[in-house]
Structure 1
Amino acid sequence: MLRDFFEKYFVNPIKYNTGYNPVNTLTYAIILGIATILVYKGLKKLKIKIDNAFFRALVPYMIFGAFTRALTDASVFPRTYITVSPGIYFLVSLIATPALLIPYKFFKDWRRVFSLFGWGLVLIDVAALLVNLQKVTFNFQVLKYFIPFVTIAEVVIYLLTKKLSIVRDNSYLFYVHFYDATTTFVGVDFMGYWEQHVVPRFLIGLTGTAAVMYVLKFVVLYTALWIMVKLEEEGEEEELLDFIKMVIFILGFAPGTRNLLRMLMGV
């Protein structure tokens, strides 16, 4: 009975690419929350400062995860439980953890070493693409839609920074999530893709357009950041809130980049 439940809600959606459902969505959200706290506590115990330099060092790992996921869609890499979402996040974490800890222990300029290793992973993905070009049919037509719509979306955020302090203080999060929303909008409304997540899929079906993603992203992000402002005012640890914002950034940048790369590779 338990095995059938697990296969129905967790195994089969990955195996048959049927998207997320309410059960696995809630479960993954809980796991993400727990993992965020555990990773944060681990970094604090090691006295690793969560700052802009650390954030920049993480960027190649975000690109690596998104690129690897897109290459899986293109059949360059085999489709397994750790090369698609949410497994790809565990795979990147499994690689990034020792890539962080070893330089931290043995190198003074450990951030640079950590970052360079991440860019090395990205180069491996590039090499994998180059030797498998026959599997890819590039479709640059997507840029005809993506460039104007992402430009409009980011201009809207820029204008909102003039009016709303929460948007102004966290503009990079709004910019990246509107970038992600644009990839979904273009993919679903113009390129024939479909949305895999439960709530967005419901809202797209309800409204008839993936442009609703802009509204959903803004409401959820603004609400989350408003709550974080209140928590900070009540004395919540600022560094923890900054780390949560880093996770929020990854949740916008990684899927958005995967979506864009997937569309560009025509898969």
Structure 2
Amino acid sequence: MDELSDRIDPARAWLAVAGAVAALLALGSVLFPRRVYDGFLWRYYWGPVAADGTRGAKCAVRHNGETTFYESVAQCRQAAGYVAEPGYTTVSTVSYALVLVFMLVGVYLLIQRLDFDYSPATFYALVPYVFFGGALRVVEDVSVAVGPDSPVAIPFPFSALFISPFIYFTVFAITLSGVLLGIVLQRRGDVERFQVPLAALGSVVLAVTLAWLAYAVTATEVVEFNPLVPAITLGGATVLAGVTWLAIEQFAPEINRGTGYMGLVIIWGHLVDGIANVLSLDWAARFGLPAYAPKHVVNGWIHRNTADFQPAWMTDLIGETWPFIFVKLGAAVFVVWVFDDKIFEDSPAYALLLLVTVLAVGLGPGSRDFLRATLGI
């Protein structure tokens, strides 16, 4: 068994599994289109994306090989065929989790094969891509909000590239391009450190995305600019993360020993998510913003139940979702504490990959939430 495992290249095995699964799904869709494509791939994956990317649609229905969109819940319930609503189902959630784990394994094998620098500089160079992912999702949000006739609207199916889960592949492809570009330039001797072009590309795609959103503000009356939202979100996250970091350094410096300033970025990213959620759910009306619904399971529970544990005057004063900030803060500090020196010494590639993933879980949705509120959509 040991000799067999030594002969098998993990990267080639990963590619073989990925290719086999893709081939089976493609072959099944051709041979059994109603069962494999309509009943599985479309129903749980493409259908929800199509419904999400179609303005005014409550659901998409697949029947006899054709897709129809309905704008009322009653029509969706009465429709014949496979019904897909915007959002996630249990099947898609579980399968996305499995795909995520599988993709993380693939990324881990890739960065091992590339054998590049796993220092904190690589982590910092990847931060713009995390922010870019959230901003790119807002591009599709704007497109849906303004309607198909607007000059800033992105027609479906192109907008699917900016909708979950396909947006993850879009951002991954751009990030991988930045990594490969940096490594090629470094090995050619054009740059000393590959992190410089990697960070540069990430900054460029982020700047272009933000510029597009700024253009949407000027090109349509639907999209507006609320400067207090980024000021409160980013400013509040920066202040609270800084105070937390200094307190840890003063009273429990061992928590920060493994991650260094990367831990500060992790805490900051999750606080952006926490503050953006509180502002959107409890303060939207006071800023003249649309009504938003909770997207996290945890903050949804907090939003529904906090009023049962605090006085009514306190709910009226500060809202119901504020504990979510401290939940995010506590979780971020715990993660920073877990990433000690030993993890980075034993497996620096694995530690770097996990740390970037942890940042993406917080800053990714947080950047989308506060940018949507900033634009009033």
TM-score normalized by structure 1? 0.80
Q: Are residue 174 (structure 1) and residue 261 (structure 2) matched?
A: no
1:245 corresponds in structure 2 to 355
From 321, 324, 328, the equivalent of 1:217 is 328
1:193 corresponds in structure 2 to 292
- Offset at 1:24? 3.4
* More displaced 10-residue stretch of structure 1: 26-35 or 186-195: 26-35
Larger Rg: 1 or 2? 2
Structure 2: unaligned runs, 5 residues or longer: 1-34, 53-85, 144-151, 258-262, 285-290, 308-319
Listed one character per residue, the Cα deviations across residues 204-244 of structure 1 (whole Å, up to 9, x for unaligned) are 323353223234324544555565559849x8524412321
What is the total number of aligned residue pairs between the two structures?
A: 266
In the alignment, the residues of structure 2 paired with residue 138 and residue 58 of structure 1 have an alpha-carbon distance, to the nearest angstrom, of 27
Structure 1: unaligned runs, 5 residues or longer: none
- Offset at 1:173? 1.7
2:177 corresponds in structure 1 to 98
Superposition pairs of residues 94-243 of structure 1, within 5 angstroms? 94-106=173-185, 107-108=188-189, 109=191, 110-132=194-216, 133-135=218-220, 136-142=223-229, 146=233, 149-150=236-237, 153-154=240-241, 157-158=244-245, 160-161=247-248, 162-165=250-253, 167-169=255-257, 170-191=263-284, 192-208=291-307, 209-222=320-333, 224=335, 228-229=339-340, 232=343, 236-243=346-353
From 332, 352, 369, the equivalent of 1:259 is 369
- Offset at 1:176? 1.9
Listed one character per residue, the Cα deviations across residues 129-180 of structure 1 (whole Å, up to 9, x for unaligned) are 3443223211234357546753664366236514445653434322221221
Change (3 A) 1:50 1:131: same
In the alignment, the residues of structure 2 paired with residue 250 and residue 120 of structure 1 have an alpha-carbon distance, to the nearest angstrom, of 19
Kept after mapping to 1: 8 A contact 2:126/2:356:
no
Listed one character per residue, the Cα deviations across residues 75-101 of structure 1 (whole Å, up to 9, x for unaligned) are 245363320233222101112223322
In the alignment, the residues of structure 2 paired with residue 44 and residue 153 of structure 1 have an alpha-carbon distance, to the nearest angstrom, of 36
In the alignment, the residues of structure 2 paired with residue 16 and residue 44 of structure 1 have an alpha-carbon distance, to the nearest angstrom, of 39
Q: Are residue 85 (structure 1) and residue 164 (structure 2) matched?
A: yes
* More displaced 10-residue stretch of structure 1: 192-201 or 4-13: 4-13
Change (3 A) 1:200 1:10: farther
Q: How big is the alpha-carbon RMSD for the aligned residues of Structure 1 and Structure 2?
A: 3.3
Change (3 A) 1:117 1:159: closer
* More displaced 10-residue stretch of structure 1: 86-95 or 30-39: 30-39
| Percent identity between the two aligned chains | 23
Superposition pairs of residues 6-21 of structure 1, within 5 angstroms? 9-11=44-46, 13-17=48-52, 18-21=86-89
Kept after mapping to 2: 8 A contact 1:167/1:174:
no
Kept after mapping to 1: 8 A contact 2:161/2:167:
yes
Kept after mapping to 2: 8 A contact 1:20/1:196:
no
Q: Which has the higher contact order (CA 8 A, sep 6+)?
A: 1
